[in-house]
Structure 1
Amino acid sequence: MAKKQSATEKKLKPAAKSTAKPVKKAAAKQPAAAPQSLFNDAADEPKPAKPAAKKSPAAAAPARPLTVEEIGHAAGEVWGALSAGNGGVSLAALKKSVAAPADLVLLALGWLAREDKIDINASAKTPTISLKQ
């Protein structure tokens, strides 16, 4: 005996085929980073992987400590560069004229400033350094 369809089943029509393309499932989702607050430190969060940086030959060598003698010699070179210039010399020009690394030039300037041998004119857009008269 054939099964009779109910009134609600008669009204339902089979679903028409959809012309929309199927949605691709996303690749493995990464969890969202927790918002920064007072209660979670940056140390609690996983650190993102950093790409390996290329090392220069100078960076590969371990840093050696600077000695007082080296800073004193650099201070002499800075003194000579300042005495050759008329008026003030910018810091960039001083770094170029002295045959020493930039950090050593800055240490030498600190040495000369501590001995009250230089004037620093910071009133202009570019500060200049000169010997005291």
Structure 2
Amino acid sequence: MNNSSVVHIKHGPTSVSIEAFPELAGRLLNIAQEFDKPESDTIVGEIELFALFLEHCVEDIGVLALGVFDEFIRQFCTNGCSIHVAVQEHGLGEESARAVLRAYYSLWKFDEAKPRYRNAAVSAAPALLASSSAHLMAMFGG
């Protein structure tokens, strides 16, 4: 993102950086300061902290959440992988995975967000067809 500002969110040893256009960075920083982080003794990973912040943005200011959502996709849904693959790659527990998926789909109610979901969808070939070693075989029984 050219000509952007970075807002940092830190919780314990975990921190995430969100790039934003300068005109939105001030508002995003204010929301980040109001963000109610998880309990102090709970350690969360980057993807979960980012998702919790995304969900917080949706509740407060939906328009700003679209920019946070774009950055979330850029950082965690790399190479066209879906959010489900990203959750699996980060090895999240059931509760953490549920929180990340809930935050990811929290923007579904905004019409402006729907094309972003389609753009972030997995585009790789199915694993069954990924190998060229498949052969046709006929079997008859009787």
Please give the range of the TM-score, normalised by the shorter of the 2 chains: under 0.3
Look at both structures and tell me which one has the larger radius of gyration over its CA atoms.
Answer: 1
Larger helix share, 1 or 2: 2
TM normalised by structure 1 equals 0.27
